[in-house]
Amino acid sequence: MENFDDIRPYNDSEVASVVQNLIINKEFINSISIFQLPKLKKIAPFLANFLVKKGLKKRLLNINSIGEFQNQVSVYVKGILDKSSNGVIVEGLNNLSPEKGYLFVSNHRDIAMDPALIGYLLHQAKLRTVEIAIGDNLLKKDFVSDLMRLNKSFIVKRSAIGREKLLATKKLSQYIHFAIENGNNVWIAQKEGRAKDGVDKTDPTIIKMFHMAKREASSDEIKMDLKEAINNLNIIPVSISYEYDPCDEMKARELFELEKNGTFKKDENSDIKSISRGIEGFKGKIQVNFGNEIIAKESDAAVIANQLDEQIISNYKLFPSNYLAYEILQKQNSELGLSLENLQLNLDEINSKRVEFNSRLDNFADELRPFILKMYANPVLNKLKFI
C-alpha cells in the first residue's frame, strides 16, 4: 500500500489527525461559512466562522474512521437531494454482488454530484461505497485534498508532463487494479472532464489506461492482454441523468466563448463555482441506472469503449427537458430525426413540462440558447443513433 501513498485515499489511522487539522484550518472554515451562511458571512463574518467551526467540531471531532466520516457525508448528500431535486430513481443496483469489487464507469455531468450520487446509493444499499478518481486540478488547496481523500478519493495526476505523466498513469492503473482485486469499488468518469455539450462518449484512452498495469509482467504481477485486463476489473457502466443541469448556463458560456474566440480561460475559482452550483442548484428529477458487467470479447480499446457507450446511452433516462430541446432543434432542421409525434412518446408528460422548460430557456442570454438547446437535445440524438 505504501507504493500508493501519494495518491491513495486516507485510511482509518489517519482520520482523527486530518479532521483535527481541518477544524483549525482558517481557509476551510472561511470557505464553509461562505457556502453555508452567505448572508451572515457578509454582515458578521467572525460570527459566521464561529458558528461553522462550532458545528464542525460537534459533527466531526468524534470521527475516527472513514466509515464514520462517510456516514456524515451520506446525511449531507441526502439533505442536498431533498433540497435541490425532485427525487432520485435508481435501477440495476440489485444486480450487484456485495462479494465483488466493481469499477463503475459513468457519464460525467457534474464534478461533485456524479460520484456523490453513486456513493450515496451504494451506501443506502449497504454496499461498499466507491473510491473516487479525482483530478489534481481540483485539489489546488490542501483542505480540499484532505476532504476528498477522507471521502475515499484517489488522485489522478493530470498536471504531470512528459515521463512523469507516463509513470503517473501507470501508477493510476496499478492502483485501480489493486483496489478492485482487494474487493473495493471504484468510480471513474468515461472521459477526462464533464460532457458539457451533453455528448456521452467513452474515451478509448481510458480503456488503454486500465491495461497499463497488466501490459508488462513483473516479479509480482501477471501479464494480461487488454481483454483480460478489462475483464479483471468487473466494469459496470453507469448512466446518470439530471432533468435540469444546475451548471447549464456556465457550460453554455464556455462553449460560446470557445466557438467565438477559440479559447476559454477559467479563473482560479471556476471549478469551485461549478461544484457549488452543481450541489446547490435545482436538478429536477434524477435517475441513476447501473448496467450489466462489461465482458470484453476482443483486445481493441475502441470496441470496448463502444460497449460502454451502448449501455450508458441506452440506459440514459431522457426527461421532457431533453425532448423539448430536441423538438425546437428538429423543427429548425428536420434532418436531425423524426418529430416528437413520430417517436412514440408520452406527449402528455412532455407537454406538461413545456411551460416550465420554456420559462427556464427564457432566462438565458440569446447567444447562449443554441448551446443550451444542444446540451439538452444531444442525449436524444445519442439515443436515436443506438436504436
- CA 39, distance to chain mean position in Å, is 29
The pLDDT assigned to 217 comes to 64
What is the average pLDDT score of the chain?
A: 94
Assigned CATH for 2-12+66-314: 3.40.1130
pLDDT digit string (tens) for 203-252? 999 999 999 999 976 656 788 999 999 999 999 999 999 999 999 999 99
Q: Which residue has the cell 481540483?
A: 138
* Mean pLDDT across 28-53: 90
The pLDDT assigned to 1 comes to 46
pLDDT digit string (tens) for 76-123? 999 999 999 999 999 999 999 999 999 999 999 999 999 999 999 999
Do residues 354 and 297 make contact, with C-beta atoms less than 8 angstroms apart?
A: no
**Binning pLDDT at 50, 70 and 90, where does residue 125 land?**
very high
The pLDDT assigned to 263 comes to 87
pLDDT digit string (tens) for 356-377? 999 999 999 999 999 999 999 9
* Mean pLDDT across 256-268: 87
- What percent of the chain has a predicted confidence (pLDDT) above 90? 84
Q: Is the pLDDT of residue 9 over 80?
A: yes
Do residues 305 and 107 make contact, with C-beta atoms less than 8 angstroms apart?
A: no
Do residues 311 and 383 make contact, with C-beta atoms less than 8 angstroms apart?
A: no
* Mean pLDDT across 181-199: 96
pLDDT digit string (tens) for 273-294? 898 899 999 999 999 999 999 9
The pLDDT assigned to 218 comes to 67
Q: Give residue limits of the domains in the chain.
A: 2-12+66-314, 320-386
